[in-house]
Amino acid sequence: MVGVVCTAPLIYALAQNPDLLAARTGDVSIFRASQEQMIGVPDERFLRNVINLTRGFYDYGDLNLRHNLPEHPIHDLLTATLFTLGWLVALWRLREARMRLILLWVAVMALPTLLSTNAPHALRIVGMLPAIALLYALGSSLTVRAASRWIPANYAAAALLALVLVVSGTWTARDYFVYWARDPLLGAAFDLEAQLAAETVAGLRGKIDDEGEVAVSRKLYFTPQMRYATGTVRRHDLEQGAPVPLNQAARFHVLTELDPSVDLSAYLLHPVENEVVATWLDPPQTAADRSLLRESAQSADAVLIRSPLHQPNWPQVVLDEPDNARLPLRAFEMAYPLDVQFANGMELVGYALDTDRVNPGEASDAFLLSTFWRLNPEFPRPDENDFVAFAHLRFGNGQSQQNNAVGSGYPLPLWQPGEIVADHRLLFRAARRCAWQGNVRGRSLSTQR
């Protein structure tokens, strides 16, 4: 009964979003992974995973910094010895049902990592942990029996336990509390930037109605952490080009990353009719229309928000309170609206081309192609692997192209039905002016730049 109560919310969430159950499986399966993800055919991949998992116990572990100190094996020298003795004992006593159960347990729980990419994968072998502990016990029992020839068995057991606590405990504490905790890449590995932004907005959320409004960069807004922090905040689409109704007496905050990305759009959290909503703000388009995000990131009065355990090179975010003289801000206006529907339920609702959004007003050999997508709520959510966008620019004898998932890092499973999501591609060309032309299911898209 306790298990049912604990898993009920998860079961309900999966029933409401069945794609969450299979989406990740399709991403990492050795049967579906691309050659870029994992070379070879499935049987070659499986054999390589067997070798990698075996090495993971002894000399070369998970490379993912979120799971492990990269390359460090699961065991130290002492626990590796006990583990090896344990599985040798289990094989020697294979006629016993309990030994067969332990080995079968290990084999079955190894399948999640053997049948997926990036083996050995520490998270995918957690089902093996109880069986591994039993193998430790078998190895320890054999060691104590062997030592009991010279000292009493209870003394031998106590000595072995103390040895494990001192040797393995010290080894593990050093690895994780010294080396791992101070790794300069650890903050980025755990999306610390998104976490800091979400905590900041959550702290300001209760003050928005009376004391201020918060503009959040797109990169920080479209994250699972921010979705959790903002809760029921909905997208508020104003009339095209209409000024966002700001309370000029309110405190206005800007939250951005230290180095704002090429996409300088932001989302404004502000009250409308006693409800806090989010409005998509238009990015800067000219040198005179300076970037609110870039200026806030460089402001001498801005506050750097960092982890209490901050280490060099860990991500930080910037909270600025700019002068209201830069306002009013404007709601986003789509340059070229479209109405293109695809069979999988995706809709292309518009696009924009701009040569000056890298650094407004400055000449550049790059320009930003933005396409705007929406998920039709009447269709089942498409598989993320089956939906990519190919942008191809030809100029003279050269070309610039991108072929990857839509959403500029905003995962498809997080898209809300009816939500408009921007996809940005930075393309490079040989000359300042170039003719651009594209085609989406027979609809011609073009402009002159």
pLDDT per position as a tens digit, 288-322: 445 677 777 778 788 889 998 888 889 999 888 87
State residue 20's pLDDT score. 66
Residue 105 amino acid letter: W
How many alpha carbons lie under 13 Å from residue 193 in its C-beta half-sphere? 23
Tell me what pLDDT residue 139 has: 94
pLDDT of residue 141: 93
Q: Give the rounded percent of residues in the chain with a pLDDT score beyond 70.
A: 76
| Amino acid at site 298 | Q
- Res. 433: pLDDT tops 60: no
How much is the pLDDT for 448?
Answer: 40
Q: Is the pTM of this model over 0.75?
A: no
Question: What does the pLDDT read at residue 288?
Answer: 45
- Evaluate if residue 245 carries a pLDDT over 70: no
What pLDDT is attached to residue 368? Answer: 72
Is residue 441 pLDDT above 50, yes or no? no
Compute the mean pLDDT over every residue in the chain, rounded to the nearest whole number.
79
Give the pLDDT confidence score for residue 414 in this predicted structure: 72
Give yes or no for residue 50 having a pLDDT over 90: yes
Q: How confident is the model at residue 83 (pLDDT cuts 50, 70, 90)?
A: very high
Confidence band (pLDDT; 50, 70, 90) for 95?
Answer: very high
CA-CA distance, 134 to 211, in Å (whole number)?
59
- Over 90: is that where the pLDDT of 286 sits? no
- How much is the average pLDDT of 364-386? 74
**186-212 mean pLDDT:** 82
Return the closest-CA partner of residue 330 out of 245, 392, 401.
Answer: 245
Output the pLDDT for position 51: 94
Q: Which residue is listed with tokens 């703000």?
A: 281
How far is residue 261's CA from residue 275's CA, in Å, rounded to a whole number? 30
pLDDT tops 60 at residue 357: no
Please enumerate in sequence order all residues whose Cβ is within 8 A of that of 20, keeping only pairs 6 or more positions apart, or say none: 13, 14, 413
- Residue 179 neighbours by CB distance under 10 Å: 11
Note the pLDDT of residue 86: 95
Is pLDDT larger for residue 327 or for residue 367? 367
Average pLDDT over residues 43-67: 92
* pLDDT beyond 70 at 160: yes
